[in-house]
Amino acid sequence: MLLVQQLSVNGRRDKLLPATSLQVRRGDLLLVSGTRQDQRTALALALSGRLKSSAGHVEWDGRPGIKTLRQASAVVDSPGVNEPEQHLSVRDLVTEDLSLIPRRHRGPLASKPWLKVNRFEDIAGLWTEQLPADRRIQLLTALALANPQTDLLVVDSPDRHGDPGDWLPRLEELAYDAGRPLAVVATVMSVPAGWTGPVAAIGNAASCSDGDLPPEDLPAGPLEVSTAPVSEDAK
């Protein structure tokens, strides 16, 4: 389970991420709303251990720390961070992403057989910018799950590419998969109409956090963002 309590990130002038609390278990899909893209991205990166928080507490399966989060999680399609470059073909994107999987889990992965096994041969020759919204989310989440260590999937603003029908069914499918149940978090501009599953909102813990914490709990250093995979030595 992912447990987050009053997590916040300081920006240069104001809060990049106001204090936010949430939790999500394996087998659940949590939608977290926030109107600002920078805040949605900051949350996605902090939840996946790619961005150091300034205050608050986050843990995965009872274990705190960025290393634990990074080993268990994958952040998907984060704007300006790891969204696919438009000049890449799907085939090249797959080759690039598979190469980032830690060596001991990589096996004989190559783009051509991977595309065939995962049924993406029909889009292999397209540029990433040509992908329909539904195929984009299918491809990027499948690549994230090529690493068998991934148990927590954090998808950054999937609604910027299409309607809920383009991305929500895929995330539900992944969360509810009995064979490999995942904890799935998606940051969104607004919760889709008709959604009855778990929800949270960015800044939902702000009123009871920053003003009550001692100054030493609110470091104001520069942001530290990392998208590199966890090294074998770190494990």
Residue 158: inside a domain: yes
pLDDT band at 225 (very low <50, low <70, confident <90, very high): very low
Residue 136: inside a domain: yes
Q: For residue 137, what pLDDT is reported? A: 97
Least confident span in 14-18, 110-114, 119-123, 230-234: 230-234
State the DSSP string of 79-147.
TTTTSPPTT-BHHHHHHHHHTTS-HHHH-S--HHHHHHHTT-GGGTTSBGGG--HHHHHHHHHHHHTTS
- pLDDT of residue 65 exceeding 70, the answer is yes
Amino acid at 175: A
User: Average pLDDT of 184-209?
Assistant: 92
Residue 144: inside a domain: yes
Residue 223: inside a domain: no
Could you say which DSSP state residue 207 is in?
G
CA distances from 96 to 89, 99, 112, 143, 145 (A): 11, 5, 12, 10, 14
Residue 185: inside a domain: yes
Least confident span in 16-25, 96-105, 152-161, 217-226: 217-226
Nearest to 235 by CA among 99, 44, 72, 50: 72
Distance CA 128, CA 72 (A): 26
User: Residue 136: which CATH number?
Assistant: 3.40.50.300
- Give me the domain span that covers residue 155: 2-217
Q: For residue 214, what pLDDT is reported? A: 35
Q: For residue 226, what pLDDT is reported? A: 46
Percent of the chain with pLDDT over 70: 85
Amino acid at 163: D
Residue 45: inside a domain: yes
Q: What is the pLDDT of residues 137-190, one digit of tens each?
A: 999 999 999 999 999 999 999 999 989 999 999 999 999 998 899 999 999 999
- pLDDT of residue 205 exceeding 90, the answer is yes
Q: For residue 105, what pLDDT is reported? A: 56
Domain count, the chain: 1
Question: Mean pLDDT, the chain, as a whole number?
Answer: 87
Nearest to 226 by CA among 121, 119, 73: 73
Give me the helix-helix angle, 133-144 and 90-98, nearest 10°: 20
